[in-house]
Structure formats: C-alpha cells, structure tokens
Amino acid sequence: MFDKKFLIITAHPDDLEMGCGGLVAKINKNGGSVTNLILVKPSVEHNVNRDEQIVRNELEKSKSVLNFETAIYDTPLYDNGRPNLTLTNNLISYAESCINEHEILISHWREDHHQDHRVCYDVARSISRKHFKQFWCMDEPPYNLHYKNFDCNHYVDITDCVDQKRQALESYSTYFNNFSIDTIIDYNKYRGSFLGENKVAETFHLMYNKI
C-alpha cells in the first residue's frame, strides 16, 4: 500500500505534518510518493512572528525532511490580504487538475472546527470517486477534539518514522513549540498503544476502499 501515489489535500502548510507526517515518511521509505495540495497559500498572518515568506521557508524545511511535492492553489484574498477560501467550481477544477496518476486521496475530516479544513473535505469528497482507489480522512489533533462521528478504522504504524514527523513539525518554529509538538506525538503514542507496546500510530477514517 505505501508504495503508491498519494494526493493529500490540506488547508495550510503544517496540516500535513500534524495529521500524517509519519505516514508521509513511511510512504517515502517504501518507494511511494506524495503530493500535498495546499488550498490556502501563504499570505498575511495574524501571528506577528510570521509572514508569507517565513511560512514558505518553513514549508521548504519540512519538504526537505519528508520529501513531498506541493501544489499550491492561488487562493483569493480579502482586502486585508487574508485568504478567502470558498468552495467554487474553479477550486474543484484546480483540484481535479492535480489528480494525475495519484491512487490514494487523503484530506481533513468534515467536523474539523477550522472552516478552511471543512472546505478541503468538500473538495476531496467532490473529486474522490473519479480516479482514486481509496479516500482517507485524517484524525488530526487538536481539531479532533470536536469530532462526534469520526471512526478510527484505519491505523498506520509510524513507530519507525516518528522522529521524522517531529523534525517536520519543528520546521514550523514560528507556529509549533515543544509543548504542542509533544501533544501531537503523545496522541500518536496513545493511538499506537492499540497496536502494541511502544507503538506509535496515525489514525484515519477510511471512507472507501477499491483496492
């Protein structure tokens, strides 16, 4: 499975690392490939420690750790420079143009409390059944605190890849600190405990499987 071509649709740089950074490292170890379709391009930030160029630089650091490709949607902006991500035919058409030969699709879950994440789910759901053999939704902390209908029915053992996930998260030094990174990894350790002692796992809701 991990030798296939994955298309991962996320809202922002750093979402891939949070939800499935270990999986991406595992895919590369097994000869597969990953394209991260990012629907909210780096732009004006509320965080005074970040700006567009800083986010782009942090994304490049993460890519050097996890070895994935990116496609970044030219997100419309509000007058204040902040992104205005809405579900449009242009957005869906752009996502469809990125399908190419990708076999497995991954995106956010529909109950994420961030509105941009929910748009990603809607886009992924719209294109999912056209060419993909599987469609997974990420179990992404801290957004999963609000899930009510998420079924963790797919576990990926990332025990051998957790160090790379941590390094990728550390690439976003203006966003994550040691506490937030530990919180994410601790959740993966909790999920891994269902696989066995000292295991670490990322979990997903497998929407459908045609393999």
In the chain, where are the structural domains located? 5-209
Query: How high is the pLDDT of residue 193?
Result: 98
Total length of the chain:
211
CA contacts within 13 A on the Cβ side of 91: 23
Quick check: 44 pLDDT over 90?
A: no
Confidence of residue 11 (pLDDT cuts 50, 70, 90): very high
CATH architecture of 5-209: 3-Layer(aba) Sandwich (3.40)
User: Quick one: pLDDT at residue 146?
Assistant: 87
Q: Give the DSSP H or E segment for 207.
A: strand 201-209
Are 24 and 64 a contacting pair, CB within 8 Å? no
Q: How far apart are the C-alpha atoms of 155 and 7, rounded to whole Å?
A: 18
Quick check: bond before 142 cis, omega within 30? yes
Is beta strand 104-107 parallel, antiparallel or unpaired with respect to 134-138?
parallel
CB 39 within 8 A of CB 75: yes
State whether the Cα torsion 99-104-110-113 is positive or negative: negative
Contact between 142 and 18 under an 8 Å Cβ cutoff? The reply is no
Q: Give the mean pLDDT of the chain.
A: 95
Is the pLDDT score of 41 beyond 80?
yes
What DSSP state is assigned to residue 72? E
Least confident piece of the model among 38-47, 88-97, 135-144, 160-169: 38-47
Range of lowest pLDDT (41-55, 69-83, 122-136) = 41-55
In Å, what is the CA distance from 14 to each residue of 72, 131, 166? 13, 26, 12
